């Protein structure tokens, strides 16, 4: 039994990548194992923890439940592509200021979710932030500080 | 090796000194995705290993059919007990000499479901996963004991070392006017760090490099060295960041042995990462426990006797003791006391350390029981705790080094508004929501050991710190930068801290909340020695601009050197080093006793045998806390929501309050999970963990957690550490679950003594 590979063209953080992949390769494993973009984390590989959250065409997506071949022709943004010209995104700056992480492993996924949460208009209150950030688990228990960071960044982004 | 050298504001706000609220120096790397965790190293020729595990709890593997797997695309190796190379048994974490027999990390004899039986190594991860599914196992299954509630489990083995007794507890209980007796249970719980366990192993000749998330580089390096029969120095552990551990990443485990064997056999670096389900059986979580607590008291609620009996589960061939009498024996003054403990063997992986092992379940028992006593006597649950306040360690009969628990009760109660509490159960409500207020105390001993660090003052005036200790989110990078900055007299911006490489100066285990106290002490010592050298050079070297000053000492601040009186030259450290022709100054500091031998050092850093007892000398050393928690319980559905938490904590001096507060809140949140959500559910047929994933083993989500207020009531405790800190990481989880159970009783009038407190127990 031989497995065939397919050419996959990926647009990640504005860079174009041409890969030859088995169709079963997930976007998460393509990022981490083929492209060395290890900022996107693998916590469960089953869409349960949110650590692998990236943006596809601006929407938050779980990279572990997405095949690399599915994002052909679409725009992918990972944590590595969030800062612009060396300036941290307001969400990143707020996470540092509010100490919204400890071990840092869920953090890239939290930040990608937070950016989308604010963009979606779901950062209007602490209650709303808690609900719309509930798909990203943090075992260190940084939740109150994540809420504070999203609240702070939402004000900055809107102003 | 990981380096952090990032700018953070300016020194004028005091954030950079020890005790300042400096932001995490490793933060920018973590929020930009630049932080490379252990298994994220990109290595040439990397092969991928995937484990195959047993699906029965007890019996023998009759046959392993690997034909299809071997023929699958990309497969490089199929490892079974028959094909894997033989290892030697390693010593345990006390350093006990091991039996002289081989060790095989793949099992023929099955003692629990999820035991590693085989492994596939392939060119890609996907190929290894696919081939692993083709391995066919057949078994001769034997009867198993799936958990503590199994009819075959029995009473277990008495652990005499756990017995603590004084006075005549049984007689005093029998004659006490007020008596309560109840049983308290906690289930299997899992550390569930967000980063799954895994490693990359690479051999170069007889030199092994292991990139692995580790709470104890030197201890794990020792185990690998003993397994493979190579000198300790030949093994290098690299662990730059750790994606959460909570006790689970301190020891080298069998999956690590499998990966290192595969790498050796294949002659290529091998990566092996557990799947999330495998993390529920590849190592042990918190053991399930059972306790009975009986308290005899007088009519005013003054305790006369405590009789405590505990049981925890362990595995068929391993031993784990979860010390269930640890809080019971010290929290309250009692003239008569008896605590005994058994362990029961079940078909499980050997349980392990999880955030405050022992103290956590122990507190659930005694802090629930004292609440029951308060209602029995008819006094306030806070008042009964003060009435039985232990003015000294009741067990060790020694003075507390510091115990700000009374202050914690006062500060927490004031902030929470405890005085407005209506005492009767079911007396506070908001519509169909019953409201309950509960209180409980927590404690954790100050575990101490010795540490070692290098501090270098470099030609450009910057300072470098090296240690093989680690940062899994507690803030080691940050507090060691603060310690070196304050001691030498430079800005924290100008300190580079390197951790997570066993080639650096040695450190013991990062566990038991000991690292901050141990390592700030070692860095303080090394930095003081480096500073002394610097000032000595400035005073005595004929080429120094200070030579003519004839000063006895000089002052170093903000990276500049001058005389204490402000006269004479004022030069930067870089200028001074250049003038005296030095490219750096280096000092190694350790906190070991002066006459320590190399054997003592090896033992100290690679075992826990030399840890200092918390009751050594004249004092008993502990951290303390008090939690005040409000719950809302839906009267119709029995759902419990935590709506408010105020906790006051005594961790002694805080090296960085911003980071300590984060750790405290994290402990409280894990405690909320323990109280309301977390429970490993065991299948009665095959002893499998049914909910072995993050969708079914429920940990708290953001939506489960209210705002949490933490108050520091600690004072510097120089009996506990060089700079006055006690413990932070484990303390805050202790007492949360009983505070919630007590709040649920206050809300509903139902006493739930069996965690987690789920809705079916309230309806």
B297, B178 in Cβ contact below 8 A?
A: yes
Most B CBs within 10 A among A87, A102, A123, A133, hence the mutation to make, goes to: A102
Distances (CA, A) of A33 to A67, B75, B123, B209, B695: 14, 18, 12, 20, 25
A73 touches chain B (CB under 8 A): no
**Structure confidence at residue B553 (pLDDT):** 87
Query: B580, B606, B632: which is the final residue of a domain?
Result: B606
Contacts A49 to B, Cβ<8 Å:
194, 276, 694
Region class of B91: left (phi > 0), else alpha (psi between -120 and 50), else beta: beta
Do B420 and B343 lie in one domain? The reply is yes
Q: In what order do the strands lie in the sheet with B136-141?
A: B109-110, B59-65, B136-141
Quote the number of domains for chain B: 3
Two structure tokens written together for B346 = 């079940």
Contacts with B695 from chain A: Cβ below 8 Å: 46, 48
Q: Do residue B303 and residue B397 come from a single domain?
A: yes
Chain A, nearest residue to B662 by Cα: A142
**Other beta carbons less than 10 A from residue B9's beta carbon:** 12
Average pLDDT over residues B186-215: 98
Residues B401 and B432 in one domain: yes
Contact of B128 with B52, CB cutoff 8 Å? no
Q: Measuring CA to CA, which residue among A91, A105, A90 is closest to residue A142? A: A105
Mean local confidence (pLDDT), B714-732: 96
- Across the interface, whether the CB atoms of B473 and A138 are under 8 A apart is answered no
Question: How many C-beta atoms lie closer than 10 Å to residue A15's C-beta?
Answer: 12
B586 is catalytic: no
Span B719-745, average pLDDT: 97
Return the ∠ at Cα A129 (arms to A119 and B631), rounded to 5°: 175
Burial of B238 (0-12, 13-18, 19+ CB in 10 A): buried
Same domain, B433 and B461: no
Strand A6-12 to B619-620 pairing: unpaired
Q: Which domains does chain A have, with CATH numbers?
A: 6-81 (3.10.20.30), 90-158 (1.10.150.120)
ipTM value > 0.85: yes
Interchain CB distance below 8 Å, A107 and B195: no
CB B621 within 8 A of CB B718: no
Cis, peptide link before residue A142, omega less than 30° from 0: no
> What whole-number distance in Å separates Cα of residue A100 and Cα of residue A102?
7
Residues A79 and B33: beta-carbon distance below 8 Å: yes
Q: Which among B666, B643, B759 is positioned nearest to B191, based on CA atoms?
A: B666
Q: Does B589 share its domain with B634?
A: no
pLDDT tens readout for residues B80-137: 999 999 999 999 999 999 999 999 999 999 999 999 999 999 999 999 999 999 999 9
In chain A, whose CA is at the least distance from the CA of B213? A103
Q: Give the end of a domain, one of B280, B306, B332.
A: B280
Structural domain contains residue B370: yes
Per-residue pLDDT tens digits for A19-29: 999 999 999 99
Taken as a whole, chain B contains a residue count of 763
Look at residue B543 and tell me if it is in a domain: yes
How far apart are the C-alpha atoms of B37 and B18, rounded to whole Å? Answer: 27
Q: Give kind and range of the element (H or E) at residue B480.
A: helix B476-488
**Are residue B204 and residue B69 in the same domain, yes or no?**
yes
Distant-in-sequence, close-in-space partners of B629: CB < 8 Å, separation ≥ 6: B437, B438, B439, B642, B644, B645, B646, B736, B739, B740, B743
* C-alpha–C-alpha distance, residues B449 and B727, integer Å: 13
Which tokens go with B537? 């050079």
Cβ A41–B195 below 8 Å, yes or no?
A: yes
Nearest to B194 among A32, A96, A103 (CB): A103
Q: What's the CA gap between B420 and B628, in Å, rounded?
A: 13
Any CB–CB contact under 8 A between A42 and chain B? yes
B251-259 mean pLDDT:
98
| B275 contacts in chain A (CB < 8 Å) | 45
Cα–Cα distance for residue pair A78/A103, rounded to 1 Å: 19
Q: Number of residue pairs across A and B with CB atoms under 8 Å?
A: 187
The number of helix segments (H) and strand segments (E) in chain A equals: 5, 5
**Does residue B120 sit in the same domain as residue B269?**
yes
Q: Which residue has the tokens 């000063």?
A: B551
Tell me the torsion sign for CA atoms B507, B511, B516, B517: negative
Of B31, B668, B670, the CB nearest to A92: B31
pLDDT (0 to 100) of residue B453: 97
pLDDT (0 to 100) of residue B518: 93
Asked if B694 and A44 come within 8 Å (Cβ–Cβ), the reply is: yes
- pLDDT tens-place string over residues B190-204: 999 999 999 999 999
| Position B411 pLDDT exceeds 60 | yes
**Is residue B150 included in any domain, yes or no?**
no
Cα–Cα distances (Å) from B469 to B21, B59, B92, B415, B476, in that order, read 22, 41, 20, 37, 8
**Inter-chain CB proximity B662 and A102 less than 8 Å:** yes
Give yes or no: residues B592 and B546 share one domain.
Answer: yes
Please give the pLDDT value at position B688.
Answer: 96
B161 falls within a domain: no
B506 and B600 share one domain: yes
Q: What is the pLDDT of residues B280-308, one digit of tens each?
A: 999 999 999 999 999 999 999 999 999 99
Q: Which of B695, B693, B687 is nearest to B115 (CA)?
A: B687
Q: How confident is the model at residue A132 (pLDDT cuts 50, 70, 90)?
A: very high
Distance CA A3, CA A23 (A): 9
Q: Does B644 lie in the same domain as B622? A: yes
Region B366-376: mean pLDDT is 98
Mapped onto helix, strand or coil, the DSSP state of residue B438 is: strand
Distance CA A132, CA A148 (A): 14
Average pLDDT, chain B: 96
Within-domain flag for B689: yes
Assess contact for B273 and B136: CB atoms under 8 A.
Answer: no
A105 vs B contacts (CB less than 8 Å): 37, 193-195, 241, 243-244
The CATH number assigned to the domain holding B216 equals: 3.30.365.10
- Domain-located, residue B380: yes
A73 torsion bin: left (phi>0), alpha (psi -120 to 50), beta (else): left
The CA–CA distances, whole Å, from A22 to A6, A34, A68, B40 equal: 6, 12, 9, 21
Nearest neighbour of A144 by CB, restricted to B34, B124, B708: B708
Q: Looking at the structure, do residues B15 and B131 belong to the same domain, yes or no? A: no
pLDDT at B12 over 80: no
| Domain closes at, from B280, B302, B333 | B280
Same domain, B494 and B555: yes
Q: What does the alpha-carbon distance between residue B297 and residue B373 come to, in Å, rounded to a whole number?
A: 8
Which DSSP letter does residue B20 get? Answer: S
Q: Does A36 contact chain B (CB < 8 Å)? A: yes
B536-544 long-range contacts, Cβ below 8 Å, gap at least 24? Answer: B537/B576, B537/B580, B537/B582, B537/B585, B538/B576, B538/B580, B541/B579, B541/B580, B543/B579, B543/B580, B543/B581, B544/B576, B544/B579, B544/B580
| Helices A143-158 + B657-676 axis angle, to 10 | 120
Q: Per the CB < 8 Å rule, is A141 touching B700?
A: yes
Q: Is residue B154 part of a domain?
A: no
- Provide the terminal-to-terminal Cα distance of chain A, rounded to the nearest Å: 58
Residue pLDDT, tens place only, B576-629:
999 999 999 999 999 999 899 999 999 999 999 888 999 999 999 999 999 999
In this complex, do A96 and B23 lie within 8 Å of one another by their Cβ atoms? yes
Q: How many CA atoms lie within 13 A of B675 on its CB side?
A: 33
Helix (H, G, I), strand (E, B) or coil at B130: helix
For strands B640-650 and B622-634, give the pairing: antiparallel
Of A92, A139, A145, the CB nearest to B662: A145
Strands A6-12 and A75-77: parallel
Mean of pLDDT values over B387-408? 98
Q: Which structural domain range is residue B702 located in?
A: 289-446+615-761
In a domain, B187, yes or no: no
> Both ends of chain B: CA-CA distance in Å?
54
Question: Residues B624, B562: contact at Cβ < 8 Å?
Answer: no
Q: How far apart are CA B454 and CA B585, in angstroms?
A: 10
Taking CA atoms, what residue in A is nearest to B645?
A144
Q: Find, in chain B, the residue whose alpha carbon is nearest to that of A50.
A: B194
State residue B11's pLDDT score: 44
Q: Return the DSSP state at B695.
A: T
Tokens of A87: 């300036």
Q: Of B124, B194, B658, which has the smallest distance from its Cβ to A106's Cβ?
A: B194
**For position A3, what pLDDT does the model report?**
61
Cα-trace Rg, chain A = 16
Smallest CA–CA distance, residue A118 to chain B, in Å, is 16
Q: Which among B245, B344, B340 is positioned nearest to B670, based on CA atoms?
A: B245
A105 → closest Cβ in B24, B195, B700: B195
Q: What is the pLDDT of residue B628?
A: 99
**Are B485 and B17 contacting, i.e. CB atoms less than 8 angstroms apart?**
yes
The confidence score (pLDDT) of residue B13 equals: 58
- What are B653-678's pLDDT values in tens digits? 999 999 999 999 999 999 999 999 99
Collect all residues with Cβ–Cβ distance below 8 Å to A87 and sequence separation of at least 6: none
pLDDT at residue B223 greater than cutoff 60:
yes
Beta strands, E only, B153-265: 157-158, 164-166, 178-186, 198-204, 207-211, 235-238
The percentage of residues in chain A with a pLDDT greater than 90, rounded to a whole number, is 94
pTM: 0.97
Contacts of A3 in chain B (CB under 8 A): 73, 127
With CA atoms as reference, the chain A residue closest to B661 would be: A99
């Amino acid at each position: 039994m031989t497995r065939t590979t397919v050419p996959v063209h990926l647009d990640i953080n504005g860079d174009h990548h041409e890969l030859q992949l088995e169709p079963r390769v997930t976007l998460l494993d393509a990022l981490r194992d083929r492209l060395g973009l290890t900022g996107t984390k693998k916590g469960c590989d089953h869409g349960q923890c949110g650590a692998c959250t990236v943006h596809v065409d601006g929407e938050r997506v779980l990279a572990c439940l997405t095949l690399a071949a599915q994002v052909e022709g679409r725009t992918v943004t990972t944590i590595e592509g969030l800062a612009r010209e060396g300036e941290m995104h307001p969400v990143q700056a707020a996470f540092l200021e509010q100490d919204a992480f400890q071990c840092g492993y869920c953090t890239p996924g939290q930040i990608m979710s937070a950016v989308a949460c604010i963009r979606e208009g779901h950062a209007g209150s602490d209650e709303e932030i808690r609900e719309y950030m509930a798909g990203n688990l943090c075992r260190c228990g940084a939740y109150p500080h994540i809420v504070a960071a999203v609240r702070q960044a939402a004000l900055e982004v809107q102003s | 090796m990981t380096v952090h050298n990032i700018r953070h504001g300016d020194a004028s706000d005091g954030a950079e000194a020890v005790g300042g609220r400096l932001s995490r120096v490793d933060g920018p790397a973590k929020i930009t995705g630049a932080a490379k965790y252990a298994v994220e190293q990109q290595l040439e020729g990397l092969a991928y290993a995937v484990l195959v595990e047993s699906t029965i709890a007890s019996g023998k593997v009759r046959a392993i059919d690997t034909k299809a797997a071997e023929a699958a695309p990309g497969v490089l190796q199929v490892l079974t007990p028959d094909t894997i190379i033989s290892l030697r048994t390693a010593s345990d974490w006390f350093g006990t000499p091991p039996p002289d027999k081989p060790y095989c990390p793949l099992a023929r004899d099955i003692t629990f479901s999820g035991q590693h039986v085989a492994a596939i190594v392939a060119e890609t991860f996907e190929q290894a996963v696919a081939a692993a599914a083709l391995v066919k196992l057949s078994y001769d299954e034997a009867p198993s004991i799936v958990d503590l509630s199994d009819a075959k489990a029995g009473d277990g083995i008495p652990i005499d070392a756990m017995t603590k007794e004084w006075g005549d507890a049984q007689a005093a209980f029998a004659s006490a006017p007020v008596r309560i007796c109840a049983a308290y249970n906690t289930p299997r719980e899992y550390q569930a760090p967000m980063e799954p366990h895994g490693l990359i192993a690479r051999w170069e000749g007889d030199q092994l490099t292991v990139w692995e998330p580790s709470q104890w580089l030197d201890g794990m390096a020792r185990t690998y060295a003993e397994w493979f029969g190579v000198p300790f120095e030949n093994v290098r552990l690299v662990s730059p960041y750790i994606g959460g551990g909570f006790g689970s990443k301190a020891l080298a485990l069998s999956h690590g042995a499998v990966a290192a064997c595969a790498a050796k056999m294949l002659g290529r670096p091998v990566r092996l990462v557990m799947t999330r389900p495998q993390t529920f059986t590849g190592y042990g979580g918190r053991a399930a426990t059972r306790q009975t607590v009986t308290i005899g008291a007088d009519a005013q609620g003054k305790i006369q006797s405590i009789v405590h009996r505990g049981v925890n589960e362990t595995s068929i061939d391993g031993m784990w003791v979860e010390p269930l009498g640890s809080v019971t024996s010290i929290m309250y003054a009692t003239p008569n006391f008896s605590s005994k403990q058994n362990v029961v063997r079940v078909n499980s992986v050997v349980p392990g350390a999880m955030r405050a092992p022992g103290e956590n379940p122990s507190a659930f028992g005694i802090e629930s029981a004292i609440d029951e006593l308060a209602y029995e006597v008819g006094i306030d649950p806070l008042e009964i705790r003060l009435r039985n306040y232990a003015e000294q360690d009741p067990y060790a009969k020694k003075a507390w080094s510091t115990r700000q628990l009374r202050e914690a009760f006062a500060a927490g109660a004031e902030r929470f508004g405890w005085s407005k509490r209506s005492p009767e159960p079911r007396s506070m409500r908001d519509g169909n929501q019953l409201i309950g207020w509960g209180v409980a105390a927590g404690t954790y001993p100050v575990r101490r050991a010795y540490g070692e660090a290098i501090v270098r003052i470099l030609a450009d005036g910057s300072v470098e710190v090296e240690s093989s200790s680690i940062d899994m989110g507690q803030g080691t990078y940050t507090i060691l930068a603060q310690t070196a900055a304050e001691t030498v007299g430079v800005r924290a911006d100008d300190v580079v801290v390197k951790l997570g490489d066993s080639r650096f100066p040695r450190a013991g285990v990062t566990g038991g909340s000991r690292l901050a106290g141990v390592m700030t002490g070692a860095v303080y010592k090394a930095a003081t020695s480096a500073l002394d050298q610097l000032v000595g050079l400035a005073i005595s070297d004929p080429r120094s601009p200070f030579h003519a000053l004839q000063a006895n000492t000089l002052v170093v601040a903000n990276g500049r050197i001058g005389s204490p009186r402000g006269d004479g030259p004022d030069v930067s450290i870089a200028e001074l080093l250049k003038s005296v022709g030095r490219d750096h100054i280096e000092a190694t500091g350790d906190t070991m006793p002066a006459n320590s031998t190399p054997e003592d050092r090896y033992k100290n850093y690679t075992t826990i045998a030399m840890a200092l007892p918390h009751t050594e000398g004249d004092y008993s050393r502990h951290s303390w806390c008090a939690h005040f928690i409000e719950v809302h319980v839906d009267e119709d559905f029995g759902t419990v929501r935590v709506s408010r938490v105020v906790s006051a904590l005594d961790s002694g001096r805080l090296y960085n309050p911003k980071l300590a507060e984060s750790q405290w809140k994290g402990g409280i949140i894990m405690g909320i999970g323990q109280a309301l959500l977390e429970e490993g559910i065991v299948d009665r047929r095959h002893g499998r963990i049914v909910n072995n994933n993050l969708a079914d083993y429920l940990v708290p989500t953001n939506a489960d957690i209210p705002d949490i207020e933490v108050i520091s009531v600690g004072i510097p405790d120089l009996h506990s550490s060089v700079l006055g800190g006690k413990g932070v990481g484990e303390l805050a989880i202790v007492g949360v679950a009983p505070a919630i159970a007590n709040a649920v009783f206050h809300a509903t009038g139902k006493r739930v003594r069996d965690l987690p407190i789920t809705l079916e127990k309230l309806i």
